Chains A and B, each alone.
Chain A
Amino acid sequence: MSNLADTRQAVHPGAGLSGGELRKLLICIVLFALAALVPFVFGGYPLQIAISIAMYTALATSWLLFSGPTNYIALSTAAFFGIGMYTAAGGIELLPYPVLVLLAGAIGAALAAVVGLATLRVSGVYFVIFSLGLAELVRQVMTWLQHVLGTMSGIYVTIERSEQEYYWQLLLLAAVVYLVGWWIGRSRLGFALRIIGNDEVVAVHCGINTALAKVVLFIISSAFASIGGALVAPRWGYVEPVVAFNPFVSFQVVIMALLGGTHRLWGPVLGVIPFVVMWELISIEFPNQTTLLLGVCFLLIVYVIPNGVTGLIEDAWHRRDGSAKGPLQRAFAPLKNLLQRKSDHA
């Protein structure tokens, strides 16, 4: 997992938009415009799926903004998502909604700054562990705070909004995430991240404050997750800690991003779409085995498709001429060797 910018184009850092880049931008705009037309075509159940897809695309792509360049698996999406939900729910009587959404982003950013500054100067593994329990930690603290303040743990959020509006808001969020991701890739920060990804020692000696770069990315990524939570809060209707800080959100976002592929900005969406559809089916057919199947998904991705769907696509593209082995063959080669050796000794 590394850079967001396409290294095949040897363009000097800070260059203006090349023809190829302009073309890609236009394609993206067209795709988003098409996606915006979905509610005019679909309604009811398909639209609900579309809302899920839009939300998870925003979450998974913003996850990639941090975890892609740094290679640190952030398991904290649910913590920030929940904070966003609570900000919106808690302030619903006090502030206008758009302000709440921005406030959610700001609070998420603040927490991310604290967590990032504490953990990102040390090894990445510690960050991953910290992020694992963060949602649970925030949930515990929220529950305690409400206990101390004497409020009920759940908050009703009653805002009338149509399903179409949710879809467009989340689609807009996803578009903003893409825009920010694209802009970062072309900026000094993006250049710094590519250098860090190539050789961190060189990066440091070029004057790059590597820890700060990672913290900034984490802040941006987490703020988007908080905004996502704030946008979705009214849809839930009733926000309580167990629901808002559901760690499954974190895990599913990671799986979707990995499934899609973490080398390209457009990778996660390729994982979100099949996963959301598949998960709907699983939740209906095997409602009691969701945890187990989630685990199986993780293992499948790690062992069979480590580079995700984008990896498969790009491999197939390269294999048009050569005869390189496909990912399935490569993944099962060690098992094959093990079995062959066993039968040799039998």
Chain B
Amino acid sequence: MDILIIGLLLGGTYALMAMGLQLQYGVARIMNLANGEVLIAGAFGAFWFYAGTQTSPLLSLLFVVPLAFALNWAIYRVLILPLVRRAKSQGKLEVDSILATFGLSFIFIGLMVAVFGAQYTDYAYLSEPVFIFGERYGLNRVVSFGASVLLCIGLYVWLHKTRAGLALRAISVNPSAAGLVSINVARASAFAFALGGAVTAAGGVLLSMYLTFDASYGVVFTLKALIIVILGGVGDIRGTILAAFILGLAETAVATLIDPGLTLAAAYVLFMIVLLVRPEGLFGRRTA
């Protein structure tokens, strides 16, 4: 039973991190391999804030989110756009953006190591237990989950009820058709990319509340976010949320029942299953 609860709590925070990548890959169509590093940067931001001010790391969202937005916007304009312009095909763009963001991830890691050091980092905030169904869980996990759920709902509502959100959803379905109905695809893609980065950094803040991390841990999160997006279906938010919970549950089950060092293996098994059984994901669209 506690596997279920912990799995769901974990899944909730994973959902936010995966939403960020969904916006970058599903809408802006950029496979951002530096995604995990943005998450870790958010985590470090929260840590630094908490260590400095001793107030709730949730408040660090106030500066982490806008900073991440600005940073990712800059990344898109300076690094990604030249690749979009010079790419002769979507395939070539994917290769180039993978390599460029890959290189970027190393730069981020290097910078974070220089600023924060290479050691494992965590902090104790709200680590008192709370009781659910008679079992004890860290309050930090519950609060993190709650905040994540709120942010996810907010994002979902924004995407489905506002014009800007509609534009992003249109682009994720068909960029050229979206352009034909006078959506400024280039600007919306930049916005989606920046928003994705901001959402991911927010996820990092929330995850930092109960996970131990270090500067080079980002790649694992990139992989998990990608697996979640693929499992849920590229371009569909509902899929991402559901897949995040599935991964959270699977990971927790494996960690508890088999070995805590096999969490990535659990994610990969899910990945394999998706690729073999239903490559378009749970909510994805199958091409003819």
Contact of A133 among B79, B82, B104, B268 (CB under 8 A): B268
Given known A-B contacts A118-B276, A292-B106, A299-B104, A136 and B264 have beta carbons under 8 A apart: yes
Is residue B153 within 8 Å, beta carbon to beta carbon, of the partner chain? no
With A292-B107, A293-B110 given, can you name 15 additional A-B contacts, CB distance below 8 Å? Answer: A121-B279, A122-B279, A123-B279, A126-B230, A129-B31, A129-B226, A137-B268, A289-B114, A295-B106, A295-B108, A295-B109, A298-B102, A298-B104, A301-B99, A303-B82
Chain B proximity of A243: nearest CB distance (Å): 16
Asked if A107 lies at the interface with its beta carbon under 8 angstroms from chain B, I say no
A130:B271 contact, CB within 8 angstroms: yes
User: Shortest 5 CB-CB distances between A and B: which pairs?
Assistant: A292-B110, A298-B103, A295-B106, A295-B107, A291-B110
Complex CA gap A144/B102 in Å reads: 28
Q: Does A140 contact B (CB under 8 A)?
A: yes
Cα-based distance from A296 to B268 in the complex (angstroms): 30
C-alpha gap A258/B106 in the complex (Å): 17
Q: Which residue of B lies closest to A1 (CB)?
A: B95
A297 within 8 A of B: yes
For residue B85, CB closer than 8 A to chain A, the reply is: yes
A292-321 to B contact mask, C-beta < 8 Å, 1/0: 111111110111001000000000000000
Q: Which B residues are in CB contact (< 8 Å) with A293?
A: 110
Q: Which residues of A contact B226 (CB under 8 A)?
A: 129
Do A334 and B102 touch (CB < 8 A)? no
**Contact A295 to B95, CB < 8 A, known contacts A118-B272, A130-B271:** no
Nearest-neighbour CB distance to chain A for B59, whole angstroms, equals: 30
What bracket does the count of chain B residues touching chain A fall in?
35 or more
Enumerate chain B residues within 8 angstroms of A302, measured Cβ to Cβ: 83, 96, 99-100, 103
Contact assessment for A124 and B94 in the assembled complex, using a CB-CB cutoff below 8 Å: yes
Are the C-beta atoms of A258 and B110 separated by less than 8 Å? no
Q: Which residue of A lies closest to B269 (CB)?
A: A137
Q: Contacts A118-B275, A132-B219, A133-B223; is A298 near B99 (CB within 8 Å)?
A: yes
* Given contacts A119-B275, A298-B106, A299-B107, A133 and B100 within 8 Å (CB-CB): no
Contact B279–A296 (Cβ < 8 Å)? no
Q: A128-B98, A132-B33, A258-B99 are in contact. Are A140 and B106 (CB under 8 A)?
A: no
A266 smallest CB distance to B (angstroms):
22
Residues of B at under 8 Å CB distance from A? 31, 33, 79, 81-83, 85-86, 91-92, 94-96, 98-100, 102-111, 113-114, 216, 219-220, 222-223, 226-227, 230, 259, 261-265, 268, 271-272, 275-276, 279
Residues on A with C-beta less than 8 A from B100 are 298-299, 302-303
9 residue pairs of the A-B complex, CB under 8 angstroms, read: A124-B94, A129-B31, A141-B265, A254-B99, A301-B99, A302-B96, A302-B103, A303-B100, A334-B81
Contacts A128-B98, A295-B104, A296-B103 given; does A140 touch B110 at CB 8 Å:
no
> Which A residues between 23 and 66 are near B, CB-CB below 8 angstroms?
none
Contacts A125-B98, A292-B106 given; does A132 touch B223 at CB 8 Å: yes
Write the nearest CB–CB distance from B90 to chain A, whole angstroms: 10
A136 to B217, CA, bound (A): 11
Alpha-carbon separation in the docked complex, A334 to B81 (Å) = 10
Main secondary structure of the interface of B (DSSP, over half): helix
Contact partners of A141 in chain B: CB under 8 A: 262, 265
Q: Mark A328-344, 1 if CB is under 8 A from B, else 0.
A: 00000011000000000
Inter-chain contacts of A325 with B (CB < 8 A): none
A289 and B95 contact, Cβ closer than 8 Å, known pairs A126-B230, A140-B264, A299-B103: no
For A291, the closest partner residue in chain B by CB is B110
Interface mask (A118-155 → B, CB under 8 Å = 1, otherwise 0): 11011111101110110011001101100100000000
Number of chain A residues close to chain B: CB under 8 A: 44
List chain A residues, Cβ under 8 A from B220. 133, 136
- Determine how close the nearest CB of chain B comes to the CB of A91; give it in whole angstroms: 24
CB of B265, distance to nearest CB on chain A (Å): 6
CB distance from B87 to the nearest CB of A (A): 11
Please tell me if A198 contacts chain B, counting CB pairs below 8 Å: no
CB pair A292–B264 under 8 Å, yes or no, is no
In the complex, A128 Cα to B99 Cα: how many Å? 11
User: Could you tell me the distance in whole angstroms from the C-beta of B3 to the nearest C-beta in chain A?
Assistant: 19
Closest CB in chain A relative to B247 CB, distance in Å: 14
Whether A294 touches B106, Cβ cut-off 8 Å, given contacts A126-B230, A140-B262, A144-B262, is yes
Q: Which residue of A lies closest to B267 (CB)?
A: A133
Q: Which of A71, A129, A297, A303 contacts B95 (CB 8 A)?
A: A71
- Most chain-A CB neighbours within 10 Å: which of B108, B223, B265, B275? B275
Chain A residues with CB below 8 A from B102, complex form? 251, 298
Contacts of A125 in B (CB 8 A): 31, 94, 98
* Chain A contacts for B86, CB-based, 8 A: 334
CB distance from A245 to the nearest CB of B (A): 12
Q: How far is the CA of A123 from the CA of B284 in the complex (A)?
A: 14
Residues of B within 8 A of A119 (CB): 275
A266 to B220, CA, bound (A): 34
- Complex contact A291–B113 (CB within 8 A): yes
Contacts of B216 in A (CB 8 A): 291
B282 to chain A, nearest CB (A): 15
Given the complex of chains A and B, what is the CA–CA distance between A126 and B227 in angstroms? 9
Q: Is A73 part of the contact surface with B, judged by Cβ < 8 Å?
A: yes
Q: Which of A124, A137, A335 contacts B264 (CB 8 A)?
A: A137
B85: min CB distance to chain A, Å: 6
CB-defined contacts of A121 to chain B, threshold 8 Å: 275, 279
Name A126's contact: one of B83, B92, B109, B279 (CB within 8 Å): B279
- Bound form: Cα–Cα A184–B83 in Å: 32
How many Å lie between the Cα of A141 and that of B266 in the bound state? Answer: 11
Contacts of A295 in B (CB 8 A): 103-110
Min distance, Cβ B264 to any Cβ of chain A, angstroms? 5
User: A298 — which chain B residues lie within 8 A by C-beta?
Assistant: 99-100, 102-104, 106
